[in-house]
Amino acid sequence: MGKKHIVMDIGGSKILGAVMDEDNRILFRVKKKTRPDQGVEAVEKRIAETVQELLKQAGLQKSDIAAVGAGAPGVIDTEKGIILFSPNIPWRDYPLGPNMERATGLPFVVGNDVNTGVLGEWKYGAAKGFSHVVGIFAGTGIGGGVIIDNKLFTGSRFAGTELGHMILNTEGPYCNCGQRGCLEAYTGKHAITREIRSMIVRGAKSNLLESMDTEDATVKSGALAKAVKAGDPVAVAVLDRVGYYLAAGIGNLINIFNPEVFILGGGVTEATETELMPIVQRYLPLFAWPAMLSDVSFRASALKDDAILYGAKALVLENGH
């Protein structure tokens, strides 16, 4: 009998952990706050506690678990388990993998969260069975990953692929990364919130900004989706603009990578999927070459919030556990 896995999605605000069985079913889940402000040791301790709680809940011993797999934000050397840099947890050249192996007594494999999500969709989700895949996840930030010829592409120093920071307009709005006119600066949640605010300032009526996400001061994806469905003109116009710029970014990627399948996922996409997907598809012919576009199957994420958890299992298997 095969062993089970513990899979984790370690984010800047939440640590999600789950026990996954041999048939890739999620059996138990544990969620904790990351609290990176308390320091890296405290974060490590909570990751280890998540593993312990999962074992306890599932009534399992360490010997029942093949390995722990995790997706985390940042530039990560998966082979060595070292986080070279992370944008929202103060990890710099940080040996998270070796530290967690010591703390948990289990093999611990960690990869970039967005790449792990794409890996999940490729192995178990919407891109299963394909060899050339590109995925974009649109939420607070815009992330993406690329599978080339059945292999996740991460560049020469594990920093690939920052698809959300392709520059669509050199004189565009400033992005969190310091550049101007990135895809994220047009389609991330901060951009969406800025656009809504600007329309309201110019006289448009909308109650979209009444219930904000307190964590990052952006409009909630669910509220945006609800307003779009109710025909709120501000929400409809803003989503159309997001769809237009996403189509520009996706069109570039289709022309560059010629994928068989393109996956669109992430919090904003999931909440507004039935509206956003057709908008993107309507604008795509403006940007993608016809021959490329006819080759690609355009799909919504199948694993949704669990893409990173499934990807973590794929990551562990790819690394020999």
> Which positions lie near Zn ion, rule CB under 5 A?
165, 175, 177, 179, 182
- DSSP-derived 3-state class of residue 206: coil
User: Min. distance of Cβ 89 from Zn ion in angstroms?
Assistant: 19
User: Min. distance of Cβ 222 from Zn ion in angstroms?
Assistant: 25
The alpha carbon of residue 218 and the mean position of all alpha carbons in its chain are separated, in whole angstroms, by 17
**Nearer to Zn ion among residue 132 and residue 165 (C-beta):** 165
**Nearer to Zn ion among residue 118 and residue 175 (C-beta):** 175
**Nearer to Zn ion among residue 131 and residue 179 (C-beta):** 179
Q: Are strands 75-77 and 82-85 parallel, antiparallel or unpaired?
A: antiparallel
Cβ atoms within 10 A of the Cβ of 127, count?
Answer: 27
How far apart (Å, rounded) are the C-alpha atoms in residues 309 and 296? 26
**Nearer to Zn ion among residue 7 and residue 248 (C-beta):** 248
Q: Are 228 and 272 in contact (CB under 8 A)?
A: yes
**Nearer to Zn ion among residue 182 and residue 280 (C-beta):** 182
Q: Which residues contact 120 (CB under 8 A, 6 or more apart)?
A: 303, 306, 307, 308, 309, 310, 311, 312, 313, 314
As a 3-state breakdown, the chain gives helix, strand, coil percent values, each rounded to 5, of 45, 25, 30
User: Min. distance of Cβ 165 from Zn ion in angstroms?
Assistant: 4
**Nearer to Zn ion among residue 175 and residue 263 (C-beta):** 175
Cβ atoms within 10 A of the Cβ of 274, count?
Answer: 11
Q: Which residues contact 155 (CB under 8 A, 6 or more apart)?
A: 161
User: Min. distance of Cβ 164 from Zn ion in angstroms?
Assistant: 7
Q: CA gyration radius for the chain? A: 20
User: Min. distance of Cβ 177 from Zn ion in angstroms?
Assistant: 3
Q: Are 220 and 210 in contact (CB under 8 A)?
A: no
Handedness of CA 174, 177, 180, 184 (dihedral sign): negative
User: Min. distance of Cβ 118 from Zn ion in angstroms?
Assistant: 19
User: Min. distance of Cβ 193 from Zn ion in angstroms?
Assistant: 16
**Nearer to Zn ion among residue 19 and residue 175 (C-beta):** 175
